[in-house]
Structure 1
């Protein structure tokens, strides 16, 4: 691994860890730190030929912007009773992201089993991210699965910060899941801050 790859690896990991602290607290700063992590990770994945994961960063940006907007619209609805076209806004990010995901899958050569692991990580991450924009508690369970699958993948790529980050993220996902459960909400109900 080059020095620049290590810098991208560690800076992205730090930004993600900070973002999740805000997510557990359901604070909108989650989206800002998460979006900031996309640049180092996008460059890292492009540089290592991980095109599905590079495309996933673009999808994350759409989810990040979409999530920020949804949380603001939901807060406005809860605080001031101003309604919005929920069906349109809830599905817009998902539709755009599926298009990006389909494109990145189409340009990826599935030459070995690691390509399928990369595909699984990206697909589950999209599902978890979509559920996160809706603040559904089961998103944490999907994130835990993504973290568990990612450990051997990132070890294989010698991306040690990303590997270590998966353990931190798994622990934070457990913390987030338990914290949101403590709020007394069933796993299928959206949380409104």
Structure 2
């Protein structure tokens, strides 16, 4: 996870490989602890990871003049996937348990952040920071102490990523 953020700062597609690689241990941890929404979130991260990797590949080829791609279709896939995962999460969540509501907020915000990340939009970073804060609260409750501490490291790395991407956006506007 930490290695993947290093590559995300520079918008390198290697990010998606490292991110996808890190999902299995999290999936198994959450599955073994009965944290069904967080285990399912790892599956959605994988879906976004595969989609994001291919989308970035297409955008790179487009930038080099090698190919044109159906942008509304591919960007629409991200929206459809987000809405479908959100709908499924709403359908399976038992909202009578308060801590399930906390997991639900983390999952929902993660979907929003993932969407922004696949598009390389700087606003995705502050959303990730909020995800880290919500997950820190939940991991404290679940006594996942290492994951609790990791959320602060990830939030700090996200602040750096946000600054880097905003700097890139300002440069793009200056040179446009």
- How much has 1:182 moved relative to structure 2? 1.8
TM-score normalized by structure 2?
Answer: 0.91
| 1:25 counterpart residue number | 10
- How much has 1:32 moved relative to structure 2? 0.6
TM-score normalized by structure 1?
Answer: 0.83
CA distance in 1, matches of 2:23, 2:83: 18
CA distance in 1, matches of 2:163, 2:90: 34
SS, match of residue 183 in structure 1: helix
| 1:12 counterpart residue number | none
1:113 paired to 2:102:
no
| 1:95 counterpart residue number | 80
| 2:160 counterpart residue number | 175
1:37 paired to 2:22:
yes
For 1:60-96, what per-residue CA distance to the aligned partner results, in whole angstroms no more than 9, with x for missing partners?
1110000001100000000125210001001213313
CA distance in 1, matches of 2:7, 2:169: 19
CA distance in 1, matches of 2:49, 2:79: 12
Structure 1 residues 138 and 163, CA, compared in 2 at 3 Å: closer, same or farther? same
| 1:86 counterpart residue number | 71
Q: Structure 1 regions of 5+ residues with no counterpart?
A: 1-15
Q: How does 1:44-55 map to 2 (within 5 A)?
A: 44-55=29-40
More helix by share: 2
Q: Structure 2 regions of 5+ residues with no counterpart?
A: none
Q: Is the 8 A contact 2:16 2:52 kept in 1?
A: yes
* Cα RMSD for the two superposed structures: 1.7
SS, match of residue 11 in structure 2: coil
CA distance in 1, matches of 2:147, 2:107: 15
Provide runs of 4+ in structure 1 moved above 6 Å: none
CA distance in 1, matches of 2:81, 2:130: 24
- How much has 1:59 moved relative to structure 2? 1.0
